Amino acid sequence: MTFLLAAIIVAITLGVTFWASKRNTSAGDFYVAGGRISATQNGIAIAGDYMSAASFLGITGLIALNGYDGFMYSVGWFIAYLTVLFIVAEPLRNLGKYTLADMLVYRLKDPRVRTYAALSTIVISTFYMIAQVVGAGSLISLLSGGAIRADLAIPLVGVLMIIYVVVGGMLATTWVQIIKALLLMFATIVMTLLILSRFGWSFSNLLGQAEAKNGAEFLGAGLKYKNPVDLISLCLALVLGTAGLPHILVRFFTVPTAQDARKSVVWAMVLIGAFYVMTAFMGNAANVLLGKDAIEAANKAGNMAAPLLAQALFGGAGTVGGEFGLAFVTAVAFATILAVVAGLTISASTSFTHDIYNGVLKGGQASEKDQFRVARMATVAVGIVAILLGLAAKTQNVAFLVALAFAIAASANLPVILFTLFWRRFNATGAIWGIVGGILFTLLLIALSPNIMKIDPADLTTGRHLIQANPIFPFENPGLFSIPAGFLFAYLGTMLGARRRDAAEDARHFEDMQFRAYTGAGAEGTVAAHD
Amino acid sequence: MTVSSAPPIPRNAAYQQLVAQRNAFTITMTVTFLVLYFLLPVLAGYNKPLMAQKVLGNVTFGYILAFLEFVMGWVMAYLYIVKARTFDRLAAEARA
């Protein structure tokens, strides 16, 4: 049953991919679907791009096992979109064509910045990708009841995402994300309605039963996060990191105007917000209906909470309804994995082709045809690297890589984006220092943190830590320290790189950038019309 | 790349207004939502009894606050949509 539904999803998405292939004939089509996606479609696609398996399976599991603390994640992941809406989405659309680097280079007029911006995009996408691919391996093996082992599941997902992106480009990726977002919303809404009908349409009643089962602390904060500083640090990276995630930013180039970019974010906020509110119902209901022990027995991290909850809601194990519910939610989780890795793949290969190959190596002179060819080759390369890294890391503890990607995005990209848009004196040296310093400092803190340095019991076979020693940096989340450091590096670089001769020039570039960012003048022509 | 081919930009009153209003709005909204959002982790970290306090039946203060954060997000997004109509109008005048 599960395989049948997953096969149907794969068949539909492949069908869409081959339909999209007819309209995927130039570099602009490949990178951003020719900039012809509508605001509504893009908003749904952003939701599909953003809500990873970690959100759907992970958060439901976290709440089922840790109560209230799991739900705090949900809030941060939603609120992050206010940062995107108020600060990033519209200027980005007005100033750039295909990548974040376009916007920075437009303002700073220095081709070196392009290299470093592309580097940060590729670093962030790689970490995020490893987390997704390794997660996909263990999830698919878990969801298929061990029938598909991780070392088979990882290449399977890798090959599918290569097909989506190479054949269908951004148009296919967008539709895979839309289909997945709609499936996910449908599954979540149906489950939430069934939960409410079981608990007398009362959240209070549901919480009361959760409390009766687990004790009062289940409803309060503190079961998971013992350290307030670590919690605040995590929240800071979530709220500021989203606005610097390359695979989210690239979505704003797929719409024609800044107004569409704005509407996209609002649509995304409706879907993402509704989804995360429902995680509170799903997580608590999974705890009450299944019990902690059964959830942990299926998977220590709680990843099976959502599929098992669907089974229970639709009639329980062994019933036709129950098996269908389990299969459906499992298939949706599979679609979720595909949509997210496809989005990451295309943002990495776009950045490589548009920024590094065309921008740096070819001095912006590569032909459309040439770029299109290289972009597809880059996609295959990115896919193969992702598969190899996923296989290499499959027994490692990689859950922290998502938090790491957010921390790097918040520490390396966000300070540079903010200074680019709002600081008249900012210059290329500042941007390079900010990006490189932000990445390196975040990596250093992570390397010294309990994510990497921890002594595991000798019999632990999965999720082992890389360095078997006591951590030097005590917090799991570096954001609180690395984000201010990113701002400081960008500031110092600006001051040290400032030359009196260029100051007037820099200021003029700022004026020019500001006019275009605020009015959209000259931005309408950024996307080549493709007839 | 120091030569910019762009003509000198006309700076009309609408543009001045747009920049001033937009910056004021962005800063006010951003500071407000960050302060309101960080109430949640700060209270969760340093005031657990308050977070566990039951307010409506079994629904704790922590859950109410978290749900209010979602409402805040949607309300702020709506306020921005309304305000952005003014920005769009000023931008059109600035381009003219």
The DSSP secondary structure of B12-62, one letter per residue, reads -HHHHHHHHHHHHHHHHHHHHHHHHHHHHHHHHHH-HHHHH-EEETTEEHH
Which of B9, B37, B73 is opposite residue A269, by nearest beta carbon? Answer: B73
A320 at interface of B, judged by CB pairs closer than 8 A: no
Q: Which of A58, A108, A119 is nearest to A333 (CA)?
A: A58
pLDDT attached to residue B2:
43
Surface of B (30-49) touching A: CB under 8 A = 30, 33-34, 37-38, 40-46, 48
Residue of B11, B40, B85 to mutate, interface with A, max A Cβ within 10 Å = B40
Whether the Cβ atoms of residue B4 and residue A512 lie closer than 8 Å to each other: yes
A83 at interface of B, judged by CB pairs closer than 8 A: yes
Q: Chain A partners of B82 at a C-beta cutoff of 8 Å?
A: none
Surface of A (86-115) touching B: CB under 8 A = 86-87, 109-111
Q: Which of A287, A288, A285 is nearest to A302 (CA)?
A: A287
A196 at interface of B, judged by CB pairs closer than 8 A: no
Written as one letter, the residue type at A200 is: G
Question: CA A92 to CA A106: how far, in whole Å?
Answer: 11
Question: CA A364 to CA A326: how far, in whole Å?
Answer: 50
pLDDT attached to residue B9:
55
Question: CA A444 to CA A453: how far, in whole Å?
Answer: 12
Residue of A74, A75, A202, A424 to mutate, interface with B, max B Cβ within 10 Å = A75
B16: closest CA of chain A, how far (Å) = 10
Size (chain B), residues: 96
State whether B77 and A82 contact (CB < 8 Å). yes
Residue B75 burial (10 A CB sphere; 0-12, 13-18, 19+): exposed
pLDDT attached to residue A174:
97
Question: CA B24 to CA A240: how far, in whole Å?
Answer: 20
pLDDT attached to residue B10:
58
Q: What is the mean pLDDT of chain B?
A: 91
Written as six digits, the tokens of A132 are: 């997704």
Residue A467: helix, strand or coil by DSSP?
strand
State whether A269 and B77 contact (CB < 8 Å). yes
Residue B7: helix, strand or coil by DSSP?
coil
Written as one letter, the residue type at A150 is: A
B96: closest CA of chain A, how far (Å) = 10
Which of A202, A219, A509 is opposite residue B60, by nearest beta carbon? Answer: A219
A499: left (phi over 0), alpha (psi -120 to 50) or beta: beta
A210: closest CA of chain B, how far (Å) = 10
Q: Which of A106, A121, A120, A123 is nearest to A420 (CA)?
A: A106
Residue of B nearest to A81 (CA): B73
B45: closest CA of chain A, how far (Å) = 4
pLDDT under 50: residue ranges of chain A: 526-531
B75 at interface of A, judged by CB pairs closer than 8 A: no
State whether B1 and A109 contact (CB < 8 Å). yes
Residue A435 contacts by C-beta under 8 Å, 6 or more apart in sequence?
Answer: A116, A117, A119, A120, A412, A413, A416
Surface of A (511-530) touching B: CB under 8 A = 511-512, 514-515, 518-522
